[in-house]
Amino acid sequence: MSGISANYYDGQSSKRHAVSIQLDANGMLSIHGDSLSACYPLDEITMAYRIGKRVRMIKLSDGASLEAETTPELDAILDQTKQHKHQGLVHRLESKLKYIVMALLLTIAFAFGFLTWGVPALAKSVAFSLPVETQDYLGEGTMEVFDEYFMQPSKLDKTRQAAIEKRFQALISGLDERDRYELLFRDSEKMGANAFALPSGSIVLTDQFIALAENEKEIDSVLAHEIGHVHFRHSLRGAIQSSSAAVLIALMTGDVASMSSFAATLPTLLVNMNYSRQFETEADNYAKQLMKEKGIEFYHFARILTRLTASHDVADDDDSLNFLSSHPSTKERIKSFQ
Amino acid sequence: MEEENSDTRELSIEFTGSGSEYFGIWIVNILLTILTLGIYTAWAKVRTRKYFYNNTRMDGAIFDYHASPIAILKGWAIVVGVLIVQQVLSSINILYGLGLLLAIMAFIPWAMVRSRVFNLLNTSYRNVRFYFEREYKELYTIFLIAPLPIIVGYGLFFYVAISAESAEVTPDTGIMALAGVFILAGFVLLPYYLHRFYSFIITRSSFGRTPFENCSSAGAFYSIYLKAFGLGLLVGVAMMVVMGVSAGLADVADGVISVIMGVLAFVIYLIGIYYVIYFIEATKLNEIWGKTSIDGNRFISKLEPWGLMWVMLSNTVLIVITLGIYIPWAHVRMTRYRLNHLLIEVTGDMDNYIAKGHKEMGALGAELGDAMDFEISL
Ligand SMILES: [Zn+2]
């Protein structure tokens, strides 16, 4: 008698029965072995998963099970059960090269789209829905670290500070009431000529930066750019984006905490570089708007940016953001302000 | 079909899966999970497990996984719901969120037990299910008592340090020493609790009605951690020597040599640290499995630190280089490596294990355990 050879286990004990199975003329699944002989209607096959190509595990309604190597004949029999047939679709997707390639391309497209548009949009809505206290808290924390390791109190004389502060107040007058801004002066050999904005709305200017500026309007133009960063909550969004992109990729590829999925999140570093460039453009555009309103000519920004770039021998810009990403764009940015 | 004699033989565990075959399952799982906004994770999990179990072969029979995706989906929905509530509460008041987080943490030992029960109950070999006794007390005891001295020690330390700082006096050295003793005692006791934990996990597991037995000793755990500690010291000393030489050379030779020595010190550090980590993992698993038996059939575990480390590190590098595409091959490689180093010494045949009746159970604990990555794996 020709049949498909399989191992039969009755579900009561681990005893193995070598059997041969076949579909008989009445559409019954008949099982024959040395010490056993049984017949099951096909609808008593309660579970027949279809995963991989090697084996098929077949559960029978009375708790017994069959283990068999996969053959076309076996799959043909099992296809007459509803469950196996349904899974045929998923199994085809999983095992045919063209579907696998399609799934891969679609997944890459989704991941790319999500990282390019989804994560920034998500981070934006989160950043704008977080209470102001969170931002203050984050800003203070950052400032403490900076003061401890990179910066000293400003050595600039008080009248000069007051003059800049006055121009700063003029710059922010009439801006959105919900945003709060604060100007801070610090001395920092380590950071050099630098200006940056914190989530709390604090804008920090270094003494070295003031020294680099040739006139007040140049300082104003950089302040306008930093106000843009605060207005769009860029530092908070940046923090949310870089962490959420990593977490989401880990979630997508499976178990979060395992080392392999952690390794898979490393490429998000590349994505983050791109984000920071988008922020610079956004802040630049905001600065242009504000400078137009307050009557500050664009070329001031172009000139101070040129000098800032030159003062740091590596081409990092005002935020010391990633120099890999900002290096090619710094020239473009300067050009757009000329 | 099979030999049935009463000789003792060593059965190896074979893994027949392949990276390219698993890749198809993996990528389709990801895509369908995205398209269904996460709902498909339940099916994805079952199909993944099933693929790995069905490709694990011992003595001509394979393992099987039976969990119902619907049960997993329900557990998953509850976990997602709880996480959303946690997020909402945290956004109202960070303290509410923390409170709920603490409450969830109180469920961790419960979730670990449930997860183990769920996964073993849904695992079968020769159509006989595995089983895990539902006992929560031991895990709660371990999780509450083991970290206690360390928490008390650090608490005491920070309390004294902060109150001394605000009063502007030097902290009481006696109390500081006491805190140190607490912390040290806590760490010294950890191998003991770790052993108790593994021993609990194994001896409450059974195959059908036949329980697993374990005769590993806390002493062996101490010896492993002591050796690891010694290895760590050795790595430190080697690094110091190289760095010292490099500093000494900086005066006489040009900068290149001292840079090379600096790089060498870093490489020694990296390899050393990873070696210690995988030394602990390999020897610990060898000890636990090597002292485990079922019905007189003994397990033999032959994991090697270098082998484990090589598979792990090369997997990580390849995953990074391929931007994650290598993940399925990495999983298959790791699984194959681990299973190939586990043997079971069997006397007679394996025909006489009797099944225990089982009821289907909810997957909430399992999902909670999974979500927080507290699933126990050996
Ligand atoms: Zn900027």
**Contact list, B45 vs chain A (CB under 8 Å):** none
How is the beta sheet containing A202-206 ordered, strand by strand?
A152-153, A182-187, A202-206, A195-197
Does any domain span residue A300?
yes
Q: Are A15 and A138 members of one domain?
A: no
Per-position DSSP letters for A180-233, written without gaps between them: --EEEEEE-TTT-S-EEE-TTSEEEEEHHHHHH-SSHHHHHHHHHHHHHHHHTT
Q: Kindly tell me if the per-residue pLDDT of A177 is higher than 90.
A: no
Tokens 């090369």 sit on residue = B314
pLDDT band at B265 (very low <50, low <70, confident <90, very high): confident
CA of A202 to the centre of ligand 1 (A): 14
Q: pLDDT value at position A332?
A: 78
Percent of chain B, pLDDT > 70? 90
- B375: confidence class by pLDDT, cuts 50, 70, 90: very low
Nearest-CA residue of chain A relative to B29? Answer: A94
Q: Please give the full DSSP string across A227-264, using - where no structure is assigned.
A: HHHHHTTHHHHHHHHHHHHHHHHHHHHS-SSSHHHHHH
pLDDT, mean of residues B260-277: 84
What is the structure's pLDDT at B286?
92
Dist CA A293 CA A115 (whole Å): 35
- Residue B259 sits at φ, ψ, to 5 deg, of -65, -45
Cβ of B54 within 8 Å of Cβ of A51? The answer is yes
What does the DSSP 8-state code read for residue A54? S
Name which of A308, A312, A293, A124 is nearest A224 in CA terms.
A293
Cβ-defined contact of B55 to A54 (cutoff 8 Å) = yes
Residues paired with B207 in a beta bridge:
B130, B210
Interface test mutation site (partner A, options B31, B295, B331, B351, max chain A beta carbons within 10 A): B31
- Predicted complex: ipTM over 0.90: no
- A260 vs B315: CB contact, 8 Å cut-off? yes
In a domain, A242, yes or no: yes
Q: State which residues have CB under 5 angstroms from ligand 1, the bound ion.
A: A 280, 283, 318-319
Three-class DSSP category at A65: strand
Q: How close is the Cα of A181 to the center of ligand 1, in Å?
A: 16
Q: Assess whether A163 and A279 both reside in one domain.
A: yes
**CA trace torsion B74, B77, B83, B89 (10° rounding):** -110
Surface of A (203-222) touching B: CB under 8 A: none
Q: How confident is the model at residue A27 (pLDDT cuts 50, 70, 90)?
A: confident
Inform me whether the pLDDT recorded for B151 exceeds 80.
yes
Both A82 and A135 in a single domain? no
Question: Among residues of chain B, what percentage have pLDDT more than 90?
Answer: 18
pLDDT above 90: residue A106: yes
Best of A16, A258, A268 to disrupt the B interface by mutation (most B CBs within 10 Å)? A16
Nearest CA in chain B to A59: B127
Enumerate residues 262 to 321 of chain A having a beta carbon within 8 A of any beta carbon in chain B: 263-264, 266-267
Residues A212 and A294 in one domain: yes
Contact call for A107 and B30, based on CB within 8 A? yes
Looking at the domain assignment, is residue A65 inside a domain?
A: yes
Instruction: Please say if the pLDDT value at position A248 is more than 80.
Output: no
**Res A232 pLDDT > 60:** yes
Shortest distance, CA A40 to any CA of chain B (angstroms): 18
pLDDT(B26) > 80: yes
Who among B320, B325, B351 is closest to A14 (CB)? B351
Task: Tell which wins on pLDDT, B203 or B246.
Answer: B203
Å between B283 CA and nearest CA of chain A: 20
Contact B28 A259 (CB under 8 A): no
Task: Yes or no: say if B362 and A23 are a contact pair by the CB < 8 Å rule.
Answer: no
Residues 6+ apart with CB under 8 A from B5: B348
Confidence of residue B337 (pLDDT cuts 50, 70, 90): very high
Residue of B nearest to A98 (CA): B24
Distance, in Å, from the CA atom of A22 to the CA atom of A40, rounded to the nearest integer, reads 11
**What is the distance, to the nearest Å, from the Cα of residue B179 to the centroid of all Cα atoms in its chain?**
30
pLDDT in tens, A255-267: 444 444 455 455 5
Of B50, B320, B327, nearest to A49 by CB-CB distance is B50
- pLDDT of residue B82 exceeding 90, the answer is no
Q: Which residues contact A98 (CB under 8 A, 6 or more apart)?
A: none
Separation of alpha carbons B142 and B125, rounded Å: 31
Min mean pLDDT across A113-122, A250-259, B55-64, B169-178 is at A250-259
Would you state the pLDDT for residue B1? 42
Side chain identity, residue B63 = F
A109 touches chain B (CB under 8 A): no
Residue with tokens 């800003």: A139
pLDDT value, residue A322 = 37
When computed from its CA atoms, the radius of gyration of chain B, rounded to whole angstroms, is 25
Domain boundary among A76, A93, A110: A93
For residue A152, report the distance from its CA to the centre of ligand 1, in Å: 22
Residue A182 sits in the same domain as residue A38: no
Instruction: Indicate whether A331 and A198 sit together in one domain.
Output: yes
Nearest CA in chain A to B329: A260
Position B316, amino acid = T
According to DSSP, residue B355 is labeled P
Does A136 contact chain B (CB < 8 Å)? no
CATH number of domain containing A70: 2.30.29
A26 touches chain B (CB under 8 A): no
Which amino acid, residue A267?
P
* Boundary-marking domain end, from A34, A67, A93: A93
CA distance A118 to A160: 45
Task: Write out chain B residues lying below 8 Å of A64, CB-based.
Answer: 127
Does residue A295 sit in the same domain as residue A154?
Answer: yes
Which among B21, B62, B330 has CB closest to A260? B330
- The token pair at B155 is 């608490």
3-state SS, residue B375 = coil
- A269 and A332 share one domain: yes
Residues A250, A197: one domain?
yes
Q: Does A55 touch chain B (CB under 8 A)?
A: yes
Arithmetic mean of pLDDT, B175-181:
87
Residue A105, in any domain of the structure: no
Structural domain including A257 reads: 130-337
Count of structural domains, chain A: 2
> How close does chain B come to A260, measured CA to CA in Å?
6
Q: End of a domain among A78, A93, A108?
A: A93
pLDDT of residue B323: 77
- Interface contact A93, partner B, CB < 8 A: yes
Residue A209 lies in a domain: yes
User: Where residue A315 falls among pLDDT bands split at 50, 70, 90?
Assistant: very low
Query: How many other CB atoms are found less than 10 A from the CB of residue A82?
Result: 12
The pLDDT value given to residue B370:
53
Ranges assigned E (strand) in chain B: 8-15, 56-58, 61-65, 123-125, 128-132, 205-207, 210-214, 292-294, 297-301, 342-347
Task: For residue A128, give both structure tokens.
Answer: 């704008």
CA A111 – ligand 1 centroid, Å: 27
Chain B residues touching A113 at Cβ < 8 A: none
Residues of chain B contacting residue A52, judged by C-beta atoms under 8 Å apart: 17, 21, 25, 51, 54-55
The verdict on A195 and A58 lying in the same domain is no
**Does a structural domain hold residue A173?**
yes
Whose tokens are 């790319």? That residue is A112
The tokens for B286 are: 């060898």
Query: A300 and A235, same structural domain?
Result: yes
Q: Does A61 touch chain B (CB under 8 A)?
A: no
Closest CA to A73 of A141, A145, A6: A6
Are A14 and B60 a contacting pair at CB < 8 A?
Answer: no
Tell me whether residues A13 and B319 touch, CB distance under 8 A.
no
The per-residue pLDDT for B228 is 92
- Using the Cβ of A92 and the Cβ atoms of chain B, whether some distance falls under 8 Å is answered with no
Which stretch of DSSP H or E encloses residue B112? Answer: helix B108-121
- Whether A192 and A259 map to the same domain: the answer is yes
Instruction: Single out the residue of B66, B51, B124 nearest to residue A46, CA to CA.
Output: B66
Reduce the DSSP state of residue A96 to 3 states and report it. coil
Q: Which of residues 71-90 of A touch B (CB under 8 A)?
A: 90
Residue A28 pLDDT exceeds 50: yes
